[in-house]
Structure 1
Amino acid sequence: MDKFVEKVVIITGSGSGFGREFALKGAALGMKLMLADVDEDSLLETVELVKAFDVEVLGLKIDVSDAFQVEELARRTMEAYGAAHLLFNNAGVGTGGFLWESTAKDWAWTFGVNVMGVANGIRSFIPLMLKQNEPAHIVNTASIAGFLSATGMGVYNASKHAVVSLTETLYHDLKIVGDKVSCSLLCPGFVPTGIANAERTRPQPLRNESPMTASQRMANRQLTRAVRSGLINAKEVADITFDAVRDGRFYIFTHPPMMDSVKLRFDDIAGLRNPSAVHEDAISSPATREL
């Protein structure tokens, strides 16, 4: 997909972070926007920022873990614009701590948003894109955590590994049915976004009643520190991502030094070695535009 002007872009998790920057980038390119987020106040802020570009924009509060709400997003998109060209399955949340201390609610919330949110977007929009018979593209936001397994992030790691696998499979599935619709896998390292504050959007029924354990508090502190120390910002990630979509690139890695850790992991697997430790600096180093 190499043309963006007047095309329709749908972005989940558009209230902050990557989603907001995807929206601003799309607006700067003259796209029509359908924005979605579970945080209505943040969503409306993004809508107002986008309006400065004098483009068509609509916002819809949804929970991507709810298939019916994502289907409504697709229906509203087609009703308003009559097409869907670029979909960012971007909404994401995270929890930390030792795996055995993660609750069933932690698993349900994280997988509901990070995995089922992506699946619901795929189910709701790809059939529409295929019927259009014109170039379209899907970007699924995973993470470097989809390739590495840092300690204290087990539930989040597992959810992002799932997104990596389903997006790689989606790439091959789409190749079977034609060449009009394709996809990319975005795997950023730590970047200053709102991911460390995602807990405030957790639905009440999925909130934990017991206080956080020591490992969960430690993981939260580490995540907050790592996110704040990210040496690349969300706008740069948006620029890199749109360039990749234009170039038809599948893998989108934003932090080149982390590839050494990815290679080490695959070397461990190929050599039947026990897993090597993942170091924080491997996933928070700055990006270069060579990728």
Structure 2
Amino acid sequence: MEQLNGRVAVITGGASGIGLATARRLAAEGMKLVLADIEQNSLDKAVAEFKGQGTPVIGVKTDVSKRDQVKALADAAWDAFGGVNVLFNNAGVAVYGPLQEMKHEDWEWSINVNLWGVIHGIEAFVPRMLEQGEEGHIISTASFAGLVPNSGLGVYCVTKYGVVALAECLYRDLRGTKLSASVLCPMLVKTNIGDSARNRPSELGGTSMVRRRNQEEQNSLQGRTLETPEVAERVLRAIRRQELYIITHEESREFVRRRFERIDRSFDLD
């Protein structure tokens, strides 16, 4: 998908972090923007930024865990710009701690946002993108934790493994069409996902159930912490080249290799 100027991108979690950085990068390519976020103040600020530089943009407050809100987001995009060419399912949350300490509410909140949020995006946008008959691309944010198990991140890993599988299957299912798909699998990036519990619904525990990494856990994290513009540049490359996997950290290669070596050794029955 080489020609981006004048085309339309929808980005969930678009008012901060990787979403906002990608919006800035796509705007620089001449794309029109539909930004979705659960935080109205951040969304208003982002929309004002793009309007100030002359980028056609709308903001739609959206909780991606709610199917009707994602459908309304799609309607707003088509109403404003008449179509969508890039969908970035980027909104996500994280909970920390060993699986044996996780509560049902931890699972429900994480699955609702990280996995159902992506599914809702696929349901609401992809059939309409296919129907419009134009080139397009769908990116879904998973994580390094969607490729390799991480201690203390079991719930997050489960949701992100699901996103990886969804994107891999979507990539295959879209063969022969004008659409393609990618999955973003970064290690550490400088975002505010560590504070995602600020938006946790009260019925699912709210901020009262927050568990943050202790210093030992924080110190054990592997890999560099990238700035969001570096990740946005890789997302743009994947759109242009129709790359399935967007791997941002070279240092993740060894961990992925070891995982598949462990699987491969299981075939040695003797």
TM-based fold match above 0.5: yes
Q: How far has the Cα of 1:218 moved from its partner?
A: 3.7
User: 1:65 touches 1:113 (CA, 8 Å); kept in 2?
Assistant: yes
Q: Does 1:261 align with 2:259?
A: no
TM-align CA RMSD: 2.0
User: 2:145 touches 2:157 (CA, 8 Å); kept in 1?
Assistant: yes
Q: Match for residue 280 of structure 1?
A: none
Mapped partners of 2:225, 2:50: distance in 1: 25
Q: Match for residue 281 of structure 1?
A: none
- C-alpha change, 1:211 and 1:136, in structure 2 (3 Å) is closer
- C-alpha change, 1:219 and 1:155, in structure 2 (3 Å) is farther
Q: Match for residue 141 of structure 2?
A: 141
Query: Residue deviations 1:89-130, cap 9 Å, x none?
Result: 000000011112111111011010100000000000001110
- C-alpha change, 1:29 and 1:151, in structure 2 (3 Å) is same
Q: Match for residue 36 of structure 1?
A: 36
Query: Residue deviations 1:14-42, cap 9 Å, x none?
Result: 12100110111111111111000001111
Q: Which amino acid letter does the alignment assign opposite residue 195 of structure 2?
A: N
Q: Which amino acid letter does the alignment assign opposite residue 181 of structure 2?
A: C
- C-alpha change, 1:74 and 1:224, in structure 2 (3 Å) is farther
> Which consecutive unaligned segments of at least 5 residues does structure 1 have?
274-291
User: 1:36 touches 1:60 (CA, 8 Å); kept in 2?
Assistant: yes
Q: Match for residue 242 of structure 2?
A: 248
Superposed structure 1 runs of 4+ greater than 2 Å apart: 208-212, 216-227
User: 1:196 touches 1:220 (CA, 8 Å); kept in 2?
Assistant: no
User: 1:255 aligns to what SS in structure 2?
Assistant: coil
User: 2:199 touches 2:206 (CA, 8 Å); kept in 1?
Assistant: no
Q: Which amino acid letter does the alignment assign opposite residue 38 of structure 2?
A: V
| 1:206-285 matches, cutoff 5 A | 206-207=204-205, 216-218=211-213, 222=217, 230-272=224-266
Q: Which amino acid letter does the alignment assign opposite residue 192 of structure 1?
A: K
> Which consecutive unaligned segments of at least 5 residues does structure 2 have?
none
- C-alpha change, 1:112 and 1:36, in structure 2 (3 Å) is same
Q: How far has the Cα of 1:272 moved from its partner?
A: 2.0
Report the TM-score when normalising by structure 1.
0.87
Query: Residue deviations 1:41-100, cap 9 Å, x none?
Result: 111121122223311100011100000000000011111111010000000000011112
Q: Match for residue 185 of structure 2?
A: 187
Q: Match for residue 73 of structure 2?
A: 73
Query: Residue deviations 1:158-212, cap 9 Å, x none?
Result: 100000011101111111xx32011111111101101101010111111168666
Q: Which amino acid letter does the alignment assign opposite residue 100 of structure 1?
A: Q
Report the TM-score when normalising by structure 2.
0.93
- Identity rate of aligned residues, in percent? 40
Query: Residue deviations 1:227-263, cap 9 Å, x none?
Result: 9x84421011001110121011111100011111100
Mapped partners of 1:181, 1:113: distance in 2: 24
Q: Which amino acid letter does the alignment assign opposite residue 183 of structure 1?
A: A
Q: Does 1:131 align with 2:125?
A: no
